[in-house]
Structures are given as structure tokens and as C-alpha cells.
Amino acid sequence: MSTPRKHRVVIIGSGFGGLFAARALKRRRDVEVTLIARTTHHLFQPLLYQVATGILSEGEIAPATREVLSGQRNARVLLGEVTGIDLDAHTVTHDVLGRETVTPYDDLIVAAGAGQSYFGHDEFADHAPGMKTIDDALELRGRIFGAFELAELAPTQAERERLLTFVVVGAGPTGVEMAGQIAELAQRTLRHDFRAINPADAKVILLDAGPAVLPSFGPALGAATQARLERMGIQVRTSTRVVGVDATGLDVVDAQGRASRIEAKAKVWAAGVAASPLGALLAEQSQSALDRAGRVEVAPDLTLKGRPEVFVVGDMMALDQLPGVAQVAIQGARYAVRTITARLDGRAAPPPFAYRDKGSMATISRFSAVVSMGRLRFSGFVAWLAWLALHLIYIIGFKSRVTTLLHWLVTFIGRGRAQRVTTAQQVLGRRALARLESGAQPKLPPVAEDGSPSAESGSPVRAGGGLASEDGTPVAGSQVN
């Protein structure tokens, strides 16, 4: 008697939404979970700025997804950039180094997250990296620490000042946290390490096109945050738009329309997000539309309109103006799983998704943070302790929690930072890869189709780079000559 086929749930993305969806299906022996992600790790994005400023290593906030799910026997992890979703055929196409794979699904959870938005000026990214990936954080670490190294060698005062000016664009939580840590790095960690310069002379400028700092936290906490930043010596300029970015500075326009220039070699872009391009693929094949940020409009049960087997969660979904924060992704993923399991068990579907706002937090400096939880708003040391505890809870893995806590003790109680290593590759790698012509991009060699056991048995890739589904059936028109 043949064994009945398991229900196939494919999850796109290994962020909070994707990982929590996979783990929520752990006890379902009748379900086969496939998680497809463009990276090999789960990223705890709220702490990226601490990687960029030398407090934490990338491994402490980015455990290997395979390791996290290694004990979950009904789950597997596939590496690849999703390049196509066929809603009629119920398949997902993904690519890694030119090798394409097609994975079929019965239910699909899309949790591909969001990238940085430069508001129509993608050329700004050349000189002002965002803060969305490990690569971004390592590049920024190289730029920030490298600026101090180059300032030590600068032959003129003008060049030294340019190198010791750090500009952070965006006064949301990421921008505030980044500005605060650059200031503490200059004033505490590096103060005895140089001879020709005084790192404490570094100028940190926080810019935002809006009228307030941390607008989502309310005016009182926003004002308190700005006051704290200014006491740290950080210049806060609100109602200031960036209209140009180049290798040596930024061009800005204030609320009165006055143009000016800020000379600065190190720039950080922490303003704006854009949903994954997969949103457009989904919208084209369904009755759902996209909002201005590229997010997909979903039904109250988080499914695409007219496609009850496709769920969109986290930063990619547009529903009730929910923010792009981790808790939206986590709660949405768990809701999608409850809906899927209810269908499999023949139970009634859960009521429409209702987000429970658990509040927001942001650190300003060591021993200082702000917390907004419903009607409760507070700042200072108690808020910082609350921030510390919550982030430790959500870091994946006991080992990561212990090492993170030790590094926080070294940095916040002492003045050291354990992760100060930088390389030229970290700083230059992103732009170098972007300049490669398509024919020069690295690719895997074709797999010989000789029928031997070594020829990647079970692989959905055919000789010459042709494309096949996971049962080995060739996909029409996919052969690469």
C-alpha cells in the first residue's frame, strides 16, 4: 500500500516570518516544509547596527538556518534567489549561481521581507550603504573604522574633517541607534587609540526629511530622544531632504528650501524600505494590487485575493497600514500556519488576522533607551534594561545569547569592542560585484547527465543548466544551450 503524499508547504524567506512559520509546523508529520532563502542564515535585523559598529559579530545575530531547523525532521532548507512564482502551476523557481530549481507547493507562505529604498535615487547606494543585510553591516563597519584610519593619515585639516564627519540619513529607530553608537565609538572606544587625531572630535549628523525624531513613538519620546542625542554631541537636522550623494558628501535642502552641502566621507542610509520585487510577481497573477511601497494587498486572512493557498506575511503584505516590524511578521506567520493546519484537519478557519501591538523600542546610547507600549511610554535606564531583556529573548540559540551578553558587558560597562576587524573586500565587494557584466557573473558548471549515482541524484537541475521540476520532469523551454 502506497504511503499518502505529505502536504507540501513552501516558505520563501528565512527572516522572522519565514523561520517562525517553519517552526510552527514542527509537530505536523503530515506536512513537508521547504524553506527557500537567498542566504544561508536567519538574520536578527534589529541588531545589525551593532555588527556595523563593532559590538557583535555577524554569527551572533545570524545563525545558520540549517542549524536552527536541524532538529525539525519535516523541514528542509534550500539556498536560492527566487526568480519566479507560477501561481497556476503551484511552483517556485529559484536560482543559485546560474543553477535553477523548481519546487512545487500545495500552500505557499511568502515572507521575503524588504530592502532599502532610496526614493527613486538608487545611485545614492554607491556612497551611502543601507542597513538590511550582513554584507551592508560589514561594509559599514569597514567604512566607519576606515574613516578614522584615513583621518590619521590625512595631510590637510579639510580632509581630516571630512573623514571625521559621519552622516546618518533617517531618524527612525535604526538611524537613531546607529548615530548613537558612532558617537559612543568615537568618544569612548577609540579615544586613546590614535596619535594624530582625537576621535572625540568626530562630528555625527542625523538627518531626516520629516519634522521629528522617532515619529512612531510619539512627540514626547521623540523630543526626549532628540535631546539625549544632542547632549551626546550629535547634530539632529529634521525637515531636511537629501537631494544628492557623492563620494565626498551630501547635498541637502531644508524646510525653507535653502540648499547646502555636508562634506562627509562616511554615510549611512537608514531611511525608507521597499518590499521585495516578488510582490509584483504575485500581483500580476492575482487579484491583489500593490501599494506605493510595493507591498501586496492581502485579504483579512493574509492570502492573495483569489488565491487561498498563497499567504503573504511581514514586510511584503499591505493590510490595515500595519508597520514593517518583526512582530507583524511573526504573528502573521503563526496565523498563516493556523489557517493551513485548520484546513488539513477539517476545522473551521480562524477569525481574520488581528495584530497585537507589543510596542516598540530603540536604544539611544548605553544605559539609555525609549519604549512605547500601548499607552505606556518611558525612557532612560529602565527602558534600556527592557530593551536588553527583550532582544536577548528573541536572539536564536543559547550560545548566541551568552556571547551577545558577554559582548554587551564588555562594550557597555567597559569601553571595548571585540569586532573591529575590517577588510578592503568588505568595503569594496558590493560595488565590485555590481559592476560585473552579466556574462562575468560567477556560475556553477553544468551537471553531467550520465545517470551515475554521483550526478546529484534527486536534483531538479538537468545537464547544460536546463531546468527540471523536483520529480525530474523537464520544464518546457528551460534548456540552456
Q: What are the Cα distances from residue 51, in Å, to 18, 132, 417, 419?
A: 23, 12, 10, 8
Q: Quick check: 105 and 9 in contact, CB under 8 A?
A: yes
SS3 letters across 160-206: HHHHCEEEEECCCHHHHHHHHHHHHHHHHHCCCCCCCCCHHHCEEEE
Does the annotation count 177 as an active-site position? yes
Q: Which of 455, 479, 450, 451 is nearest to 467 (CA)?
A: 479
Per DSSP bridges, beta strands 235-237 and 241-246 are: unpaired
Shortest CA distance to 313 belongs to which of 133, 464, 110?
110
- CATH code at position 425: 3.50.50.100
CB 230 within 8 A of CB 181: no
Phi, then psi, of 262 in degrees rounded to 5: -115, 120
Q: Which of 389, 421, 387, 394 is nearest to 58 (CA)?
A: 421
Q: Coil, helix or strand for 84?
A: strand
The three cell numbers of residue 469 are 521540476
Q: Which of 60, 100, 177, 184 is catalytic?
A: 177
Same domain, 129 and 240: yes
Residue 442 is assigned to a structural domain of this protein:
no
Strands in 75-79's sheet, in edge-to-edge order, are: 75-79, 31-37, 7-12, 107-110, 307-312, 303-304
In terms of domains, do 132 and 107 share one? no
Candidates 258, 55, 56, 53; CA nearest to 166 is 53
Alpha-carbon distances, residue 429 vs 59, 135, 434, 444 (angstroms): 19, 9, 9, 20
Could you tell me the three cell numbers for 240?
A: 531636511
Determine the angle formed by the axes of helices 16-24 and 326-345, rounding to 10 degrees.
30
CB 310 within 8 A of CB 282: yes
In a domain, 466, yes or no: no
Burial class (CB in 10 A: 0-12, 13-18, 19+), 328: buried
Contact by Cβ (8 Å): 198, 228: no
Q: What is the pLDDT of residue 456?
A: 38
Mark whether 256 and 313 lie in a shared domain: no
CATH number of domain containing 68: 3.50.50.60
Whether residues 299 and 421 share a domain: the answer is no
Tally of structural domains, the chain:
2
Q: What is the pLDDT of residue 475?
A: 45
Whether residue 20 is contained in a domain is answered as yes
Match 560567477 to its residue by C-alpha cell: 442
Residue 195 confidence (pLDDT):
97
User: Pick from 311, 345, 379: which residue ends a domain?
Assistant: 345
Q: List the one residue out of 76, 7, 117, 82 whose CA is nearest residue 339.
A: 7
Specify the pLDDT at position 17.
96
187 and 155 in one domain? yes
Length of the chain: 481
Residues 228 and 130 in one domain: yes
In a domain, 253, yes or no: yes
Using DSSP's 3-state secondary structure scheme, residue 23 falls into helix
The C-alpha angle 53, 174, 294, rounded to 5 degrees, equals: 130
Q: Say if residue 101 is in the same domain as residue 59.
A: yes
pLDDT of 455? 37
Weakly modelled stretches of the chain, pLDDT under 50: 452-459, 462-481
CA distance 193 to 199: 8
For 94, the enclosing helix (H) or strand (E) is: strand 91-96
Using alpha carbons, list the distances in angstroms from residue 336 to 21, 116, 306: 8, 26, 16
Residue 465 lies in a domain: no
Cell of 184: 559612543
> Which of 415, 434, 453 corresponds to the end of one domain?
434
| pLDDT, tens digit (0-9, with 9 covering 90-100), for 18-62 | 999 999 999 999 999 999 999 999 999 999 999 999 999 999 999
H runs (alpha helix) in 232-325: 278-284
pLDDT at site 433: 84
Determine the Cα–Cα distance for residues 36 and 369; give it in Å rounded to an integer.
36
Whether residue 97 contacts residue 444, with contact meaning beta carbons closer than 8 Å, is answered with: yes
Q: How far apart are alpha carbons 276 and 213 in whole angstroms?
A: 26
Tell me if 281 sits within 8 A of 293, measured CB to CB: no
Same domain, 149 and 229: yes
What digits encode the pLDDT tens for the residues 29-39? 999 999 999 99
* Domain, as residue range, for 33: 7-116+274-345
**69 part of a folded domain:** yes
Q: Which residues contact 368 (CB under 8 A, 6 or more apart)?
A: 228, 379, 380, 381, 383, 384
250 shares its domain with 369: yes
Cβ neighbors of 151 (< 8 A, separation 6 or more) are: 159, 160, 163, 164, 194, 196, 197
Check residue 46 and give its pLDDT.
Answer: 93
Q: Select from 345, 380, 402 the last residue of a domain.
A: 345
Residue 468 counted as domain residue: no
Please name which of 212, 208, 184, 138 lies closest in space to residue 364, comparing C-alpha atoms: 184
Give the residue among 340, 473, 363, 361 at the shortest CA–CA distance from 412: 363
Q: Is 473 within a domain?
A: no
Is 265 found in the same domain as 190?
yes
- What are the grid coordinates assigned to 89, written together? 502551476
Q: Are residues 229 and 215 in the same domain?
A: yes
334 and 191 co-located in one domain: no
